[in-house]
Structure 1
Amino acid sequence: MTSPDASPTVPDRPDLRADCGSCFGLCCAALPFARSQDFARDKSAGTPCHNLQDDFGCGIHTRLRDEGYRGCTVFDCFGAGQKISQVTFEGVSWRERPESARAMFDVFPAMRQLHELLWYLNEVLELPRARPVHRDARRALDDIERLTRADAEELLTTDVPAIRGDVNTLLLKASDLVRAEVPGRKKNHRGADLVGARLRDANLRGAALRGALLIAADLTGADLRFADLIGADLRDARLDGADLTGSIFLTQAQLNAARGDHATKLPPGLTRPAHWAA
């Protein structure tokens, strides 16, 4: 049995990375948040955050964590914001055309989910070991790409959960193909409650961790190479010295929610968060 390919798995798709300068502050206006350790105050859906400026910039962008808005630093729209702003609504903001605000805000969650699926499908196409599902992944990607360029009415009537279900089947197959090449027995912690778990130096190479609750788990020095981390909740998880090389379906938002240090090994294309220990 050969080792899995240690090739880059993070898609090189600028359009699937948030470009706040091309967005009408949709995450700051469309989405609700509740006062908690992640947000300093309550905000209802469709109500602009009090920190949102006239140019759609954030008035406390450089101080979000200090001001109690950690949740903003870990949110990722996968480029959905600029797609809606510049394509769906052709560059005309909800402030310029207030009657469009409701539709623009309502379509944002659906577009974000579709862009997230595009991100994962692009990653599948970067995984040599997932070649048996590349054709289906390419077909699904093309279909979703076309849908994201539809008008707001069509997007609002789209059965996004059904699309997610179909894509999830592909992602599971891709995960199995990649992880099958990891020698030895692999742990299955799919959907497991591992909140606060002591997993220091754990061998989780090729493990199934999709949807696992790893909040505040101690993964210091853990071997997470080629682990499937899709949907894993890594809020406040300790990743100091952990090896995430080749891990699949890991996103920047998950890393931003976690804690790590200079010794944490990341897949190519993902960056070390500024708040991590030096």
Structure 2
Amino acid sequence: MREHTADRADTRAGAELRGDCGSCFGLCCVALPFARSADFATDKDAGTPCANLRTDHRCGIHATLRERGFTGCTVYDCFGAGQRVSQVTFGGRDWRTGPPETRRMFEVFPVVRHLHELLWYLTEALALPAARPVHADLRGALADTERLASGTPQELAALDVAAHRQRVNVLLLRTSQLVRSGTRGRGKNRRNADLMGARLKGADLFGADLRGAYLIAADLTGADLRGADLIGADLRDTDLTDADLTGAFFLTQPQVNAARGGPVTRLPDSVTRPVHWTAGR
């Protein structure tokens, strides 16, 4: 479902927490629903294969997804949940040809995707030296999350993933406080702020708390986002041209893919520069 990136950077989380479509049975193209909108050209119910999904589990219009109105597909990443559910949880059994219980993949996949996203955040947090006071707790949460993700299909289907996410979020909040404590008062609190379409060209957001902020179509050209917490920030169509996100943390590849940027945009090492930033698409 994803577009390829223009370059590959060393990631803190590792390849196992990146989508590998070649090792997946097209689960994101079947399990997830989407509604006709600016992101998707048609409606699709959960559990129904996308009309563009071929029998080999590849996308029939992958090269022209944006032109055909499926931008939402190009920005998506499952954090490696697809290949785990396909190859590990269900032992490589294809939902098209396997026994009836393999259809449970569609129920399990979103759960594992949530868990893998948490694994990504926890791995990122453990790479931050300023979070050292909570590293032991973070390692414990990482091990717990990995154990849950390794569960059977029945265990995963019954898991209260929201409750586990809430427990992990306490540690991620503490991590954010520790990392941003060195900003000497510059870090602004914009948590959950409605900044849709905001004109923030050249804004000083060094060390800002932008958790859950709505930055859809905001102008952040040339903005200083160094050391900012961007967990859950909505960056759809956000203009990051010439912005500096060096040291920004909890920034995921799907967020970057959804934004606009250019060759001078500075990104943290945990993400890669999307191909459409350089291809003019």
Shorter chain as normaliser: what TM range? over 0.9
Instruction: Answer whether contact 2:19 2:83 (CA < 8 A) is retained.
Output: yes
**Identity over aligned pairs, percent:** 63
Could you say what secondary structure the match of 2:147 adopts? helix
The equivalent of 1:273 in structure 2 is 274
The equivalent of 1:4 in structure 2 is none
Gaps of 5+ in 1: 1-7
**Counterpart check, 1:32 vs 2:33:** yes
Distance 1:85 1:42, change over 3 A: same
**In the TM superposition, what are the counterparts of 1:70-85 in structure 2 within 5 Å?**
70-85=71-86
Instruction: Answer whether contact 2:226 2:244 (CA < 8 A) is retained.
Output: yes
Could you say what secondary structure the match of 2:40 adopts? coil
The equivalent of 1:257 in structure 2 is 258
Amino acid of the structure 2 residue aligned with 1:254: Q
Could you say what secondary structure the match of 2:159 adopts? coil
**Aligned-residue offset at 1:245:** 0.2
1:160-186 CA deviation, whole Å, 9 max, x = no partner? 111100100000000110000123332
Gaps of 5+ in 2: 1-8
The equivalent of 1:223 in structure 2 is 224
Q: Determine the C-alpha separation between the residues in 2 that align with 1:249 and 1:128.
A: 14
Instruction: Answer whether contact 1:28 1:49 (CA < 8 A) is retained.
Output: yes
Structure 1 stretches of 4+ moved >2 Å: none
RMSD: 1.4
The equivalent of 1:202 in structure 2 is 203
The equivalent of 2:5 in structure 1 is none
**Counterpart check, 1:145 vs 2:146:** yes
**Aligned-residue offset at 1:103:** 1.1
**Aligned-residue offset at 1:159:** 1.1
**Aligned-residue offset at 1:269:** 3.5
**In the TM superposition, what are the counterparts of 1:181-192 in structure 2 within 5 Å?**
181-192=182-193
The equivalent of 1:175 in structure 2 is 176
Instruction: Answer whether contact 1:9 1:267 (CA < 8 A) is retained.
Output: no
Amino acid of the structure 2 residue aligned with 1:97: G
Amino acid of the structure 1 residue aligned with 2:217: A
Instruction: Answer whether contact 2:227 2:245 (CA < 8 A) is retained.
Output: yes
User: Aligned pair count?
Assistant: 271
**Aligned-residue offset at 1:102:** 3.4
TM-score normalised according to structure 2 size: 0.94
TM-score normalised according to structure 1 size: 0.95
